[in-house]
Structure 1
Amino acid sequence: MTTALRRLRNYIDGEFRDAADGRTTEVVNPATGEAYATAPLSAAADVDAAMAAAEAAFPAWRDLIPAERQKVLLKIADRFEERAEELIAAESENCGKPVALVRSEEIPPMVDQIRFFAGAARMLEGRSAGEYMEGFTSIIRREPVGVCAQVAPWNYPMMMAVWKFAPALAAGNTVVIKPSDTTPASTVLIADIIGSVLDELGHSRGVFNVLCGDRETGRLMVEHTVPAMASITGSVRAGMQVAESASKDLKRVHLELGGKAPVVVFEDTDIAKAVEDISVAGYFNAGQDCTAATRVLVQESIHDEFVAALAKAASETKTGAVDDEDVLYGPLNNANQLKQVKGFIERLPAHAKIEAGGEQVGEKGYFFAPTVVSGLKQDDEIVQHEVFGPVITVQSFSDEKQAVEWANGVEYALASSVWTKDHARAMRMSKTLDFGCVWINTHIPLVAEMPHGGFKKSGYGKDLSAYGFDDYTRIKHVMTSLDG
């Protein structure tokens, strides 16, 4: 006897629909390794329908005064709070995340971020109007770019959807968003929430659309002629493909593509406090975070003590069932990701040493033990490439110069942290570290008011903050003659 799978659907122009050709994919709960739902495998006809709906809804949404768009976003935030338990359940099943952590660490910041962008809608920035040529007045208009094609990742499907739709809608754009094929459930629920709010306040439901599907669906969205902007959070490879596809008709592109965050620990650091914070920042969400504290550089004088303390912290860190309030993280998101993490461990060079973990946990699901690997060199694969799992690597450096060289010596440049009691050193490091964020004596906190985004192969464009809002706008210069 088998349990019937729940049927998820696309959300297009205010209606939940199957794929036009009826194709579906199975959605697997990573905590059990078993399918619990089916989702549409959207193709060209579905993309056409969603883009047409967003395009038709754009003029009226664009022309709303900012205060009206703010009302919608504030109501969406309220509804997120009212339906929080539904969102928590969907995301936990989506990702195998511990229920208690979704409730405490995801719902509150998502609600706050939506409310932040509701306010940003009414704070359009531009240079002062004035006479910059005799007899003429110049003004700046900040306008929405149009329809936005957005692709969200599987590590934080619910929160990353918020990071994409909230600034886009606040700025006056309409949205077609695609969740990962492994995590569509919470985004489909978000569509129900947003659609109901748009209905209640008398706006077109075509303002927000959700397409489920795979990479081909995402490619069709990016290459479609309607969107003026494509936004993706994903791998470097995916970002390069999006940039190439978008270049064919010069779409604006917004890319957040991963990281390999250096965590630079100097000898004057409080080791116990640093280990406590770094282990949480490295293992939270099973290390499936582009900013995760997974590449630690420790000054050689405290290396052995630090590694011993970190290995002990790893051994005390718990992964497990979604309803266990003592676990820090759940499973890896999918079978392919588990295979990738295992592969990094299997290919470790002979000089590397596994200080803790290094193996799969449990008989079902995709759980992996909190892991510490020491003895690594700068050019080792596991140092240079993103593992995206609960694996913290440790290298030993001699001085500040070498720390900077090794910290910057990767292709990614999203986030970093420095651990020291020396203020001057912290300021020097914050200047020389080539990353979009530098934390000092902490790692991973984010706030809606500050930007999140990187350099180099971590992509370009900012999420969160007024900078993230600005990315979803375009600038127009209007000049008028004073001669009448």
Structure 2
Amino acid sequence: MTIDLLKNYIDGAFVESSSSETIDLVNPVDETVVARTPVSTDADVDAAVAAAQRAFRTWGRTTPGRRQTALLALADAIEAHTDEIVEAQCRNTGQPKAVVAAEEVKVGADQLRFFAGAARLLEGKSAGEYMEGFTSYVRREPIGVVGQVTPWNYPFMMAIWKIGPALAAGNTVVLKPSDTTPESTLVLARLSQGILPDGVLNVILGNAATGASLVEHPALGLVSITGSVRAGIAVAVSAAKQVKRAHLELGGKAPAVVFADADIDKAAGGIAEAGIFNGGQDCTAATRVLVHESVHDAFVDALVAKAEALAPGLPDDPDAFYGPLNNAAHFGRVVEKIASLPSHAKVRTGGNRIGDTGFFFAPTIVTDVAQDDAIVQEETFGPVITVQSFSDEEQAIEMANGVDYGLAASVWTRDHGTVQRMSVALDSGAVWINCHIPLVAEMPHGGFKQSGYGKDLSAYGVEDYTRLKHVMSSHD
């Protein structure tokens, strides 16, 4: 069988990398090699950035209406090629095809349409005479060439989250997808041909070294990454050395706080789904349950039953709730997390590999953990949920906020006062009430603490890809 060598997308065309080094793309379902990707060089990055610089001279001056028209046309093309995008992505991720079609492609097209509209609704302080004899106003301008790095957990949707606000604001983009999941991003690039002017969107393939080459490029005005805290710190340090802006959406360790008055069955079902969806490979996943001691045992029983009903499966299996973990290295890390649990922790269900081939891991519930255990403090990024108990609201807040992350949280209660107090006290960029994980294009997504800074989605996300300029005119 011939294994295809993928190509970079630069200046409106697919071009071979100048590098002879390649990476095997492995299907996590059966561990077969499905393609090879080049490890792009500094020269490849230079070519992509130069193309983006040329394109910015025009795209950065294009009217919001014209940018909107282009993004709407791209959204239509995405929907028309749903099956192709799904097939390309599932070769790299093993996700259920129905989930990719519904949760990434359909949602991604909708999000792109939102960004298309947001291009025409950027706001600034109204013009006025703030000093006698002078009129001041604010220009909100595109930054220029933006470098972006996307992860492997939601490859297509994360590409939309990156390019949508950047292009809507008038920037041009050089995007590097994860080295294990580039194919759906390349389909997106091909669909943009003839819709976006050449050089507006460029895609560079490669490994972490390629990403570092992109992030360090001096011509970039902003670098944006969705990834691990370690990767985010590296990007922030690199950006700081050149005094360029950074936009970081990093990890999470989201608490789900269940009070005694909550609907236990609903909470258990919602949290199980939010913790195990996409194999737990989600920075907002409900990974830590904090449940009132009076309902702890009943909740754990319900959570175990709900989790055990969420089976992994093959991409074409209509009953599969999630697929395999993405790659061998990550699979090994999740296995090691469970193998190294302290003796006081109890695995109530799961904790094991499923099958002999592919990176499938069973839904896993771990109880009797302590706040300082690694499984509580560190991101697992697998279908693993821990459960702890609390005695009162103050302790629940302390435990919920007692990690380095601050991306998302949820509160499960029937009491309005509890909702209001907890939504203020939780140190998280998103707080869900009696639900966990829904996202909408109109609302911002982004965290606090080591979960990063900057917002994806919403008009705030578009504003992050702009710069403000004060213009002051004398009346004389």
User: Could you state the TM-score of these two structures normalised by the residue count of structure 2?
Assistant: 0.99
Q: Does 1:392 align with 2:390?
A: no
1:276-310, Cα deviation, whole Å (9 max, x unpaired): 11111110000000000111001000001111111
Q: Aligned with 1:360: secondary structure?
A: coil
Whole-angstrom CA distance in 1 between matches of 2:218 and 2:310 = 49
Whole-angstrom CA distance in 1 between matches of 2:296 and 2:4 = 51
Q: Does 1:230 align with 2:223?
A: yes
Instruction: Please name the residue that 2:146 is paired with.
Output: 148
Whole-angstrom CA distance in 1 between matches of 2:451 and 2:362 = 27
Q: Is the 8 A contact 2:147 2:220 kept in 1?
A: yes
Residue from 262, 274, 278 that aligns with 2:267: 274
Residue from 442, 445, 455 that aligns with 1:452: 445
Instruction: Please name the residue that 2:87 is paired with.
Output: 89
1:329-359, Cα deviation, whole Å (9 max, x unpaired): 0000000111111111011111110000000
Q: Is the 8 A contact 2:365 2:386 kept in 1?
A: yes
Instruction: Please name the residue that 2:3 is paired with.
Output: 5
Q: Is the 8 A contact 1:260 1:290 kept in 2?
A: yes
Whole-angstrom CA distance in 1 between matches of 2:144 and 2:394 = 46
Letter matched to residue 20 of structure 2: G
Letter matched to residue 49 of structure 2: M
Residue from 47, 61, 75 that aligns with 2:45: 47
Residue from 355, 368, 371 that aligns with 1:362: 355
Report deviation, 1:316: 1.6
Unaligned runs of 5+ in 1: none
Whole-angstrom CA distance in 2 between matches of 1:77 and 1:418 = 35
Q: Does 1:319 align with 2:312?
A: yes
Q: Is the 8 A contact 1:264 1:298 kept in 2?
A: yes
Report deviation, 1:20: 0.7
1:381-403, Cα deviation, whole Å (9 max, x unpaired): 10000000000100011110000
Instruction: Please name the residue that 1:416 is paired with.
Output: 409
Report deviation, 1:196: 3.2
Q: Is the 8 A contact 1:314 1:357 kept in 2?
A: no
Q: Does 1:257 align with 2:289?
A: no
Q: Is the 8 A contact 1:255 1:460 kept in 2?
A: yes
Residue from 71, 74, 95 that aligns with 1:73: 71
Whole-angstrom CA distance in 2 between matches of 1:106 and 1:237 = 26
Residue from 104, 107, 114 that aligns with 1:106: 104
Instruction: Please name the residue that 2:328 is paired with.
Output: 335
Q: Aligned with 2:332: secondary structure?
A: helix
Whole-angstrom CA distance in 2 between matches of 1:38 and 1:115 = 32
Identical positions, percent: 60
Report deviation, 1:320: 1.2
Letter matched to residue 99 of structure 2: L
Q: Is the 8 A contact 1:168 1:175 kept in 2?
A: yes
Instruction: Please name the residue that 1:190 is paired with.
Output: 188
Whole-angstrom CA distance in 1 between matches of 2:53 and 2:22 = 26
Whole-angstrom CA distance in 2 between matches of 1:284 and 1:165 = 25
Residue from 187, 209, 212 that aligns with 2:205: 212
Instruction: Please name the residue that 1:295 is paired with.
Output: 288
Whole-angstrom CA distance in 1 between matches of 2:474 and 2:308 = 72
Q: Aligned with 1:127: secondary structure?
A: coil
Report deviation, 1:6: 2.3
Whole-angstrom CA distance in 1 between matches of 2:309 and 2:459 = 40
Q: Aligned with 2:388: secondary structure?
A: strand
Whole-angstrom CA distance in 2 between matches of 1:270 and 1:425 = 15
Letter matched to residue 95 of structure 1: T
Letter matched to residue 29 of structure 1: N
Whole-angstrom CA distance in 2 between matches of 1:197 and 1:415 = 36
Instruction: Please name the residue that 2:374 is paired with.
Output: 381
Q: Is the 8 A contact 2:215 2:239 kept in 1?
A: yes
Whole-angstrom CA distance in 2 between matches of 1:45 and 1:228 = 19
Report deviation, 1:22: 2.8
Q: Is the 8 A contact 1:42 1:212 kept in 2?
A: yes
Whole-angstrom CA distance in 1 between matches of 2:193 and 2:85 = 15
Q: Aligned with 1:263: secondary structure?
A: strand
Report deviation, 1:225: 1.1
Instruction: Please name the residue that 1:133 is paired with.
Output: 131
Instruction: Please name the residue that 1:351 is paired with.
Output: 344
Q: Does 1:172 align with 2:160?
A: no
Whole-angstrom CA distance in 1 between matches of 2:175 and 2:307 = 37
Q: Is the 8 A contact 2:105 2:156 kept in 1?
A: no
Report deviation, 1:8: 1.4
Whole-angstrom CA distance in 2 between matches of 1:120 and 1:104 = 23
Pairwise CA RMSD of aligned residues?
A: 0.7
Q: Does 1:478 align with 2:471?
A: yes
1:412-471, Cα deviation, whole Å (9 max, x unpaired): 000000000000001100000000000000000000000000000000000000100000
Report deviation, 1:93: 1.3
Q: Aligned with 1:188: secondary structure?
A: helix
Whole-angstrom CA distance in 2 between matches of 1:316 and 1:136 = 68
Whole-angstrom CA distance in 1 between matches of 2:256 and 2:90 = 29
- In the TM superposition, structure 1's runs of 4+ consecutive aligned residues that sit over 6 Å from their partners are none
Whole-angstrom CA distance in 2 between matches of 1:16 and 1:413 = 39
Residue from 404, 414, 436 that aligns with 2:429: 436
Report deviation, 1:101: 1.0
The number of aligned residues is 476
Letter matched to residue 311 of structure 1: V
Whole-angstrom CA distance in 1 between matches of 2:43 and 2:123 = 39
Q: Is the 8 A contact 1:142 1:473 kept in 2?
A: yes
Q: Aligned with 2:439: secondary structure?
A: coil
Instruction: Please name the residue that 2:122 is paired with.
Output: 124
Which region of structure 1 is more displaced relative to structure 2, 443-452 or 19-28? 19-28
Q: Is the 8 A contact 2:122 2:459 kept in 1?
A: no
Letter matched to residue 245 of structure 2: R
Q: Is the 8 A contact 1:195 1:208 kept in 2?
A: no
Unaligned runs of 5+ in 2: none
Letter matched to residue 91 of structure 1: Q
Describe how 1:19-38 pairs up with structure 2 within 5 A: 19-38=17-36
Q: Is the 8 A contact 1:149 1:177 kept in 2?
A: yes
Instruction: Please name the residue that 2:15 is paired with.
Output: 17
